[in-house]
A and B are shown apart, each in its own frame.
Chain A
Amino acid sequence: GDSVTQMEGPVTLSEEAFLTINCTYTATGYPSLFWYVQYPGEGLQLLLKATKADDKGSNKGFEATYRKETTSFHLEKGSVQVSDSAVYFCALGIGYQKVTFGTGTKLQVIP
């Protein structure tokens, strides 16, 4: 079945460090790919998305490129801030509104 694998956390970085959170997927067909973010005590928010191979999604300084050849969708940010501390979920969507999520990666940014 469809699945998403993302790197284990927690990830601890100093402010202004470079962030990479790895995500790979397995899917039959051609999924759309997403990154969601969950701040403490809140629901998930869509961070960015890509709907086809080589698409790059970007938002709030975060970027991810849909790599069909490596079945990956790694999240990157050039300079993290304390306010980026949250749990990040990689997800794929295929079929009507059926979204499969990864297990989440907790990011902690220290001043």
Chain B
Amino acid sequence: KAGVTQTPRYLIKTRGQQVTLSCSPISGHRSVSWYQQTPGQGLQFLFEYFSETQRNKGNFPGRFSGRQFSNSRSEMNVSTLELGDSALYLCASSAGLAETYEQYFGPGTRLTVT
């Protein structure tokens, strides 16, 4: 079974620009979660999608948004990039069942904002 894939793996953007990151979950998984990982803040939950609906949201500004498609692939968008958005963005997929939290992580997208 193929694992979680994220594209692109590395990205360099300039302040003020916007960026879209993509995540393809494991086949059959309907839940996709996004996390931001930085040395200072650690891993922070952004949001989670299940069957194209956002079920959970973390404490991030509205510049961070996401969506999920009917094939469970998900995209995350960050608008008006700031230097502080430089981070590793991790996507995780799971079956999405109520009591199942086994998440399978992708390798991440390393975003650098200059």
Contacts and interface: CB of A to CB of B under 8 A. Distances in A.
A51 B99 CA distance: 9
A97 B43 contact: no
22 contacts: A32-B99, A41-B107, A43-B4, A43-B92, A43-B107, A44-B43, A44-B90, A44-B92, A45-B105, A46-B102, A49-B102, A93-B101, A96-B31, A96-B56, A96-B96, A97-B55, A97-B94, A97-B101, A98-B45, A101-B35, A103-B42, A104-B43
A97 B42 contact: no
Nearest to B98: A96
A41 B107 CA distance: 7
B72 interface: no
3 tightest CB-CB pairs across the interface, nearest first? A43-B105, A93-B101, A101-B43
Looking at chain B's contact residues, the main secondary structure is strand
Given A36-B105, A49-B102, A97-B50, 11 more contacts: A43-B90, A44-B43, A44-B92, A89-B43, A96-B50, A96-B96, A96-B98, A97-B33, A99-B45, A99-B101, A100-B45
A90 B43 CA distance: 11
Contacts of B50: 96-97
Nearest to A98: B56
Interface of B: 4, 31, 33, 35, 42-43, 45, 48, 50, 55-56, 90, 92, 94, 96, 98-99, 101-108
Contacts of A89: 43
A97 B31 contact: yes
Query: Which interface residue of A42, A45, A96, A100 has the most chain B CB atoms within 10 A?
Result: A96
A88 B61 CA distance: 28
Interface in A21-68: 32, 34, 36, 41-46, 49, 51
A111 to B, nearest CB: 27
A97 B90 contact: no
A89 B4 CA distance: 19
B26 to A, nearest CB: 12
A101 B58 CA distance: 13
A35 B8 CA distance: 27
Contacts of A96: 31, 48, 50, 55-56, 96, 98
